Amino acid sequence: MEVVNSIRPILAIGVSLLAACLILLTGERARNLREFWTILAAVVKFSIVMSMVPFILDGKVIEYTVFTIAPGLSIGFKVDALGIFFGILASFLWIITSFYSIGYMRSLNEHAQTRYFACFAIALSATMGVAFSSNMFTTFLFYEVITVCTYPLVAHKETPEAIKGARKYLTYLLGTSIGFQLFAIFMTYNITGTLDFSHQGIFGEARGVVSDTIIIVTFILFMAGITKAAMMPFHGWLPAAMVAPTPVSALLHAVAVVKTGVFVVVKVVVHLFGINLLWDIGLGTALAYFASFTIVAASVIALTQDNLKARLAYSTVSQLSYVILGVALLTPSGITGSIMHIVLHAFGKITLFFTAGAIYVAAHKTKVSELNGIGRQMPFTMAAFTIGAFSMIGIPPFGGFISKWYLTMGAIEANQLPIILVLVSSTILNACYFLPIVYAAFFKEPGTAHHNAHAPAHGVAFAGSHNPHSGHKLHEAPAMMVVPLMLTALGTIVLFFAPDFFLDITKIALENVTGGK
Amino acid sequence: MTTQSPALLIIVPLISAILCLLLGLIRRGLCYPFVVAVLGVSVILSFDVMGTVLNDGVIRYRLGGWDPPWGIEYMIDHLNAFIAIIIASISFVVAIFSRKSIEHELAKGKIIYFYTIYLLLFTGLMGIVVTGDVFNIYVFLEIASLAGYALIAIGRDRAVLASFEYVVLGTVGACFYLLGVGYLYSVTGSLNIMDLTLRLPELYHSKVILIAFAFFMVGLALKIALFPLHVWLPDAYTYAPSTVSAMVAATMTKVGAYVMMRIMFTLFEPYFSIKLLPVTTILGWVAAAAMIFGCIQALAQTDFKRVLCYILIAEVGYIVLGISVGNRAGFTGAVLHILNDAVMMACLFMIAGAIYYKTGMRHIYEFAHLHKKMPVTVTCLVIAAISVVGVPPTCGFFSKWYLVLGAIDARQWFFAFLLLASSLMVAIVFFKMMQTIFFAPAGESAHAHIDEPHKEHKHSRDEAPASMMIPIFIMVAGILLLGIFSGQIVSTVIQFTVPKGF
Amino acid sequence: MDTMQFIIGKFNYWIYIVLMMIGFYAMIAKRNLVKKIVGMNIFQTAIILFFISTSSKKGGATIPIIQGGHGDAAGHVIDAAQYLNPLPHVLMLTAIVVMVSTFGVALALLIMIYREYRTFEEDEIYETLEVMRLKK
């Protein structure tokens, strides 16, 4: 495999760090300039990431080692197909979220916006760092940076609940990552003498030298330590983190943070342990069943949640385990489905979170039971919600269908019929907790109590001010918010009809993993 | 100059201590620049010594030209030279810090004496490090301790009482050490470490040697405040003046740990300390208890400096654990942690000093919204805290990295787990602090609203003066750079300090 | 008989241990700070005694003062058995200096404590501290 030396990965990481500094320096005095830095950094970052794509499609790998601390222990970057995949996703959605954030923060007149945008930029830098890191040590480093710099975002409101939620967030993430993940990294280094990711795993030769028990323990420690993937029983932080402002929930807790978690799980499974080894020991199947449990259990809990964001959070918990399930099947289709699900779920879920935020800004509603008839008031938002929900359920022609298709194929390849059952039942459950919202929003009569009673003064009337069908006043969130959410909704449809770009990258990633077989 | 550097390391500060007193009589203001200059020279000397060691190997300097084992010999290898650089650099930086802090906390007339004793303390610490003679170590240990007692006693509140307690326990520790020397001498007739190394192996099964070893260990454990012999430390270091806390916390315990390493692995061979006796096992468990105990106690404290003191006790536990696992990685971790911990503790105690200087606040619960008043200081505090917790790329991570690897190599899973668990507990300690600083409880801010002008005053930006901030910056830069370059430090220096037989 | 011989034969060690324990007891058990440092002093003295006693020899050995010994030592034949080992004495001179300074520092601290609390009794000092804490 051809290796290209380039500092582009560092540029991709550095640009938003630089932006964070500029944001802090600009401060509250010149808000437009401050927001300009965010947008500029987002666009530049995306173009840097895209500039690396041709190399990857040519089957090359971009590498850059910053410095070596000890043999087998360095801070270095390697952009391969899997990494670029995640990089494109996160940097693209950052652009959209930036616009949405500006709309959201300004319409709610939130405090400490400078801190908010700066932390956001740092979080994105760290996400790029995870995507492009060449070894487990660098990954861990950026993993922790994400945890620390998203803490102020979660605690943004500084109310007692926000601080409590943020504390839970930090306790879960930091506690498990230091207690389990770091320990697992130490074990890995002790067993293999290196932490560098290798396409076929680094544990292969170690088997036989150390007992299987130690390898199994290391694997379990990794899985318990990567709490960002929100696998049960370590999922509690995600609903708790919903106290954050909605753009944070949208980008970080549907894309950057949680996807970092599953991305690292995928990396650990395929690039540290290697498919063959896990297949031989039988750990893949065990992980698959574990993930299946999370998928079903989280969906059931989601049914009981009345808070819209909490419902979305549990849905995220469930959907994240799809990714883990896919890779745990250890079959080509399973892994393809798993990687594709990272991007497809991201588009769908970010749409849903955006709509939740828009509803909060425009109508100050957070509960599912209050949403009766809201579709007439906010047709664009709720249309996007419907698209997102359909994608989540996996109905064609929306993106979510593709990954579910591949996951099911993977389960068949692996001869795991119970897994298919899990996928089917979870689809039904998804429908059960999303469709009532859609139904209520469009077809139920709004309750009198919620009849625009608390329409906020700063809400902006959208386009036409009257809706001839219902007589309700159109009352959308600001265009700065509605346009992004329409775009991501559109994205899920586009991805159904034109998934080739992402599928091509996935194919290369898969070839790397299986060694071209 | 180079050939005389080992002796100059001690003579320069010793003579300067007296000169400082005389200079102070002429003009009080001269003391500060003089001390800083002297310590600057010492830093250069220590680097010079390290350079010689790196190029020409171990230095064996005969004091006054007397041949060992009769005369006193200064033996400097990679380990001493490394520790000497740490001590000299920390003392230098803390001395820069001292100016405003001392003017603020001490009566005017005491400043001259402060600087004189400060130099004496430095002399003592340097002496312990460079000498290659067990009795000479005792003498320098007492010089350093006596200077330490005096410096701590000039602090506030209960400082005198704490210092008295320290005198009593410190003397017991020193006496135990002296007894150990006596037993060794009575069977070997020698005091020179290199000479003793050759003579001791045939006596390894003698009871006298065992007793000597036991006395050494207990005496040193008292001096480095190893749990459960730590009782003197929290009071003494909490009530001492900020500068003194920064200096002694960063250096005294480290030097004690160095002596422990020397005795366990140079004076006695690793074979004796690891295989023949269960010393390492006992030390390992004691160290593990120290780590956990220190962190738990730190959780319960409200005084910032006292929190740091208990963390220091835990950090001593780390170092001793690294020594006790008895393998290459563990020892590397212990030596690296001596460096890292010295830098981190100096940094944190100086930050505590800067906060006290500007606001008079000592308790963490008073720190609410401190980041609005002293944003730069708080940023430094965050970086130092991250390092103590052990998050990469700060230096604290890398020494823990080697320590945990050492524990795993020794198949001591429980110790490895405890190392991580105590990191977590330290994380909780600092997290609580950060939460108070950044997101103070509502009651606190409501209180501030009542007194509007007071609030204005509280929240307007007001950092400590440059003479305090620059040393803190140096230390923060050190925390980051030492982390990034820890690989180079290990490969150029520390790997040569690992005793033979590991 | 063996036990007796063991005790009597090494009487110097027994004396130093007993002295040391007396000192140790005073440091731990006495509530008066002055008594504590007196105990500390006894503790140190015991060690000095131990060092000195190790240098002694049976059979009338004496201090090594050799007339005309300097310069042409080769001309004199020195029988080591006739002289005491001088090194422990030298070491103890240093140790005594250390001891005296420690004692001095401790006494100075006591004066400061007395100025602050008007007492040497530990219990009373802690009472005063408690009262001060409550006043705050």
Looking at the domain assignment, is residue C119 inside a domain?
Answer: yes
Across the interface, do A69 and B386 touch by the CB < 8 Å criterion? no
For B84-105, what is the mean pLDDT? 90
In this predicted structure, what is the pLDDT of residue B441? 61
In this predicted structure, what is the pLDDT of residue A166? 87
In this predicted structure, what is the pLDDT of residue B446? 42
The position carrying tokens 């945008």 is A117
Task: Show the domain range for C102.
Answer: 2-58+76-135
Question: What residue type is assigned to position A480 of the chain?
Answer: M
In this predicted structure, what is the pLDDT of residue B259? 93
Looking at the domain assignment, is residue B318 inside a domain?
Answer: yes
A43: Cα within 13 Å, side-chain hemisphere: 6
Domain map of chain A by residue range?
A: 1-274, 282-517
Across the interface, do C47 and B178 touch by the CB < 8 Å criterion? yes
Across the interface, do A190 and B409 touch by the CB < 8 Å criterion? yes
Domain count, chain B: 1
In this predicted structure, what is the pLDDT of residue B144? 93
Q: Is chain B in touch with chain A: ≥3 Cβ pairs within 8 A?
A: yes
Q: Which residue did the predictor score with more confidence, A448 or B2?
A: B2
Q: Is the peptide bond before A397 cis (omega within 30 degrees of 0)?
A: yes
In this predicted structure, what is the pLDDT of residue B454? 44
Which A residues in the span 129-158 are in contact with B, Cβ-Cβ below 8 Å? 137, 140-141, 144, 148, 152, 155, 158
Strand partners for C83: C62
The position carrying tokens 């990711």 is A197
Looking at the domain assignment, is residue B452 inside a domain?
Answer: yes
The answer to whether A452 and A378 have CB atoms below 8 angstroms apart is: no
What residues of chain B lie within 8 A of the CB of A213, using their CB? none
User: Is the pLDDT reported for residue B105 higher than 80?
Assistant: yes
Looking at the domain assignment, is residue B490 inside a domain?
Answer: yes
Q: Is B373 left (phi over 0), alpha (psi -120 to 50) or beta?
A: alpha
In this predicted structure, what is the pLDDT of residue B143? 92
Q: Which of B424, B426, B431, B494 to mutate to test the interface with A (most CBs of A within 10 A)?
A: B424
Looking at the domain assignment, is residue C111 inside a domain?
Answer: yes
Residues of chain C with pLDDT under 50: none
- Contacting chains of B (3 CB pairs or more, <8 Å) are A, C
**Mean pLDDT across chain B, nearest whole number?**
86
Which C residues in the span 37-56 are in contact with B, Cβ-Cβ below 8 Å? 37, 40, 43-44, 47, 50-51, 54
Q: Could you read off the pLDDT tens digit of each residue along chain A, which spans 517 residues?
A: 678 888 888 888 888 888 888 888 887 778 888 888 888 988 999 999 998 888 888 888 888 888 777 777 788 898 888 888 889 888 888 888 888 888 888 888 777 788 888 888 888 889 989 999 888 888 998 998 888 888 888 888 888 888 888 888 888 888 888 888 988 988 888 888 888 888 878 887 777 778 888 888 888 999 888 988 888 888 888 888 888 888 888 877 777 888 899 999 988 888 888 888 888 888 888 888 889 999 999 999 988 888 888 888 899 899 899 999 988 888 888 888 988 898 888 888 888 888 888 888 888 888 888 888 888 888 888 889 999 999 888 888 888 888 888 999 999 988 888 888 999 899 999 899 888 888 888 888 776 544 444 444 444 444 444 444 444 567 777 888 888 888 888 888 888 888 888 888 888 888 887 765 4
Q: Is the peptide bond before A478 cis (omega within 30 degrees of 0)?
A: no
In this predicted structure, what is the pLDDT of residue A97? 87
Across the interface, do B168 and C47 touch by the CB < 8 Å criterion? no
Name the residue in chain A with its Cα closest to that of B415.
A183
Cβ of residue B66 closer than 8 Å to a chain C Cβ: no
Which B residues in the span 101-160 are in contact with C, Cβ-Cβ below 8 Å? 135, 138-139, 142, 146, 149-150, 153, 158, 160
What residues of chain B lie within 8 A of the CB of C36, using their CB? 168
Length reported for chain A: 517
H or E stretch at A67: strand A61-70
Cα–Cα dist C14/B114, whole Å: 43
Looking at the domain assignment, is residue C71 inside a domain?
Answer: no
Residue A75: both structure tokens together: 């801070």
Looking at the domain assignment, is residue B221 inside a domain?
Answer: no
Question: What residue type is assigned to position A106 of the chain?
Answer: R
Across the interface, do B164 and C33 touch by the CB < 8 Å criterion? yes
CA-based nearest residue to A9, from A56, A68, A59, A73: A56
In this predicted structure, what is the pLDDT of residue C77? 62
Name the residue in chain C with its Cα closest to that of B142.
C98
Cα–Cα dist B387/B389, whole Å: 5
Cα–Cα dist A483/A486, whole Å: 5
Q: Helix H segments across B301-412?
A: 304-325, 328-359, 370-373, 375-389, 395-409
- Contacting chains of A (3 CB pairs or more, <8 Å) are B
Across the interface, do A174 and B427 touch by the CB < 8 Å criterion? yes
What residues of chain B lie within 8 A of the CB of A187, using their CB? 408
Q: Is A382 left (phi over 0), alpha (psi -120 to 50) or beta?
A: alpha
Residue B91: both structure tokens together: 């003392």
Cα–Cα dist A357/A348, whole Å: 15
Give, as one character, the DSSP assignment of residue A269: I
Q: Helix H segments across A27-108?
A: 31-57, 81-107
Which A residues in the span 321-360 are in contact with B, Cβ-Cβ below 8 Å? none
Q: Is chain A in touch with chain C: ≥3 Cβ pairs within 8 A?
A: no
Distance separating the N- and C-terminal Cα atoms of chain C:
66
**Mean pLDDT across chain C, nearest whole number?**
83
CATH no. for residue C99? 1.10.287.3510
In tens, the pLDDT along B380-418 reads 999 999 899 888 778 888 888 889 989 988 888 889 889
The answer to whether B138 and B161 have CB atoms below 8 angstroms apart is: no
Name the residue in chain C with its Cα closest to that of B170.
C102
A35, A104, A323, B476 from A22: Cα distances, Å? 10, 21, 36, 22
In tens, the pLDDT along B347-383 reads 999 999 999 988 888 888 888 888 888 888 998 999 9
What residues of chain A lie within 8 A of the CB of B490, using their CB? 70
Cα–Cα dist A505/A49, whole Å: 14
Domain count, chain C: 1
Q: Is A5 left (phi over 0), alpha (psi -120 to 50) or beta?
A: beta
Across the interface, do B164 and C110 touch by the CB < 8 Å criterion? yes
In this predicted structure, what is the pLDDT of residue A309? 87
Looking at the domain assignment, is residue B248 inside a domain?
Answer: no
Across the interface, do A70 and B490 touch by the CB < 8 Å criterion? yes
In this predicted structure, what is the pLDDT of residue C101? 92
H or E stretch at A4: strand A3-5
**Residue B398: which of A69, A175, A178 has the nearest Cβ?**
A69
Name the residue in chain C with its Cα closest to that of B174.
C44
What residues of chain C lie within 8 A of the CB of B178, using their CB? 47, 95
H or E stretch at A350: helix A332-363
pLDDT band at B293 (very low <50, low <70, confident <90, very high): very high
Percent of chain B with pLDDT over 90: 36
The answer to whether B361 and B444 have CB atoms below 8 angstroms apart is: no
Q: How far is C112 from chain B (nearest CA, A)?
A: 7
Across the interface, do A183 and B431 touch by the CB < 8 Å criterion? no
Cβ of residue B172 closer than 8 Å to a chain C Cβ: yes
Strand partners for B59: B76
In this predicted structure, what is the pLDDT of residue C74? 54
Looking at the domain assignment, is residue B395 inside a domain?
Answer: yes
Distance separating the N- and C-terminal Cα atoms of chain B:
36
Q: Which of C35, C52, C102 to mutate to test the interface with B (most CBs of B within 10 A)?
A: C102
* Strand pairing class (A61-70; B59-62): unpaired
Residue B355: both structure tokens together: 């906060």
For B294-316, what is the mean pLDDT? 92
Looking at the domain assignment, is residue C66 inside a domain?
Answer: no
Looking at the domain assignment, is residue B266 inside a domain?
Answer: no
